[in-house]
Structure 1
Amino acid sequence: MTDISRIRAAASRLEGKARRTPLLNSQFLDEIAGRRVFVKPECLQHTGSFKFRGGWSALSALETEVRARGVIAFSSGNHAQGVALAARMHGVPAVIIMPSDAPKMKIDNTRAYGAEVVLYDRANEDRDAIGERLAGERGLTLIRPFDEPEVIAGQGTVGLEIAAQAAELGVAPGEVLVPCGGGGLTSGIALALAAEAPGFTVRTCEPEGFDDAARSLAAGEIRANQPGASSICDAIVTPQPGRLTFPVMKELCGAGIAVAESDVRRAMALAFTRLKIVVEPGGAVALAAALFHGDTISGGDVVVVASGGNVDPELFAQILA
């Protein structure tokens, strides 16, 4: 199980490896939201997303001889890049299983970090089965994207930073909005804040039609997305919340928020023009919630996690246009 001591241990191992991303604020965004909005730009993290934290945490926790045999992961791109870079920094091989329709930038970047990329059809093939088979054949350690205690611990370091930075900046305890796929980032942040800044409430944010976390929280048990559908928010489209992450979210998180794709596009454009950061669709859902769904948010100040910035240039140019 992941707890605050494991998150603090991950933070110690990440010291000098991960970037301490800032909290950004824009008066213009505050006016749209009707409250102060502080954005945690994990799009500025190594590999362009928070996933490097979990990748490094998981690899650095392995025994030396186990790590030396190599690792395997499956991801639409951000976890892939995080694990690939962490493996390269440790000098060990990495095999990454990616959907064939993942953004080209994410596939290319994963290969550039030195990983072997295995593509699969997400509509007709089971990535878990592929990963387990290759891990068994090659003696690789599987690093799961969210249902892995050390990965959750690494993502939880975002929450430790939010707690410290909110205190430094005088951010009033309120809601912390987090893009949610399988729940590794959300549950990690929730655990960290429960220990370090218990006045904050974590809320899951997802695109409409792929709000499995929100529906699961409302039902009190795991609900799945319909298979086969797609979204521009590819980074956070997962079948359902994780078996390790959901109990944490159920205990510690508020109700989930679902946002329209049109709001995601507007949030991406505003992040670029007002904060000068590039945020990918899946990474922008929390900002979209803060800006355009203020009636669902209670209290004053809100902290938003911009979880990644790995968007294909063609899509980004289209959105800015």
Structure 2
Amino acid sequence: MNSTIKESAESVERQVTRHFQAMLSARDFRADSAQQAAIEALAQWLGSWLRGRRTLLRVPAAGVYLWGGVGRGKSFVMDAFFSAIPLPAKRRVHFHAFLREVQVRLREISGQPDPLALVARQIAAQTRILCFDEFHVHDIGDAVLLGRILKMLVEHDVGLVMTSNYAPSGLCPNPLYRDRFKSAIALLEKRFNVLHVDGGEDYRQRPDIGQSWGHFRALRSTEDKDWLGRQSGLHAAAVQDVVIQVNHRPLRVRAHDAASAWLDFDELCRGPRSSADFLWLCQRFERLAIGVVPRLDGESIDVQQRFLNFIDIVYDSGIHLLLLGETHLDELLSDGAHTDFSRTHSRLQQLRITDELSGEA
């Protein structure tokens, strides 16, 4: 290997760590030891991956897997790392959006032999480093699809960096289809640098860091149901009580205009809606109003999972959310009811609670 390539890779490592420090300084933040270790691990991996030194006894790690509790700064670390990568062929994508993209590509080339392999080659031709946010698996279809395409992307030398709330061994807790994902877990544990990022503090709960991305109100009377309509920002000429087609399936909407939509929780989460449907809504509207969210402990796991997926997607899409709950925010779903609720609870806590007296947002 010539000295220029080696020096370039080493300078990339310094560039990543310097950029992280610059982002911290710009926000007047200080990294904890876990975050510092994470950015150093990412910088070292990137330098090694760019050098690409392979021997019979050693193959460079295929990527880095960062996991830890909610609000531990994983996304901030990913922000700094991604923006410092000196390659144009890089992508950062949320887990749900990536799955949706793969499914769309598969439909476009249906009838081809082994279409998933073709999709993997297409992605590899366009992307050298792919970064995933909020990696998790709770659906049998997702488990099968992700397991296969991860292996293919690694084989095509696409560098992969992921954040997750779960260690690889905890990614697919449902025993009904865990066996279908075991090979993917083994791949992550064997070929990736796995790092626990947990400094012990949920930074999203800090008043100087947490940001409101919408509003929440607890239902006090039947009259409060009109709060969504009043606060949704709907134009006076908004279409009322209409059925729209979302991914070729009907969805009843209480009202919508060009930028905002008001939907019932039952319509959104009790029927066979998918994450692709939630992504469609976020691409179509800038503001969503949802009510009335019941106490979720008494709901089926499918209803709970749809709501959690919905919150994930809306949060990461930058959509303004208005949420009307049957009860106070902390009482909607208990911590032990669903394995993913700690992440959802942290995100819901960033909604601005409306004034209990005036009811104004």
With normalisation by structure 2, the TM-score equals 0.26
Higher relative contact order (CA 8 A, sep 6+): 1
**Structure with greater proportional strand content:** 2
With normalisation by structure 1, the TM-score equals 0.29
Pick the structure with greater CA Rg: 2
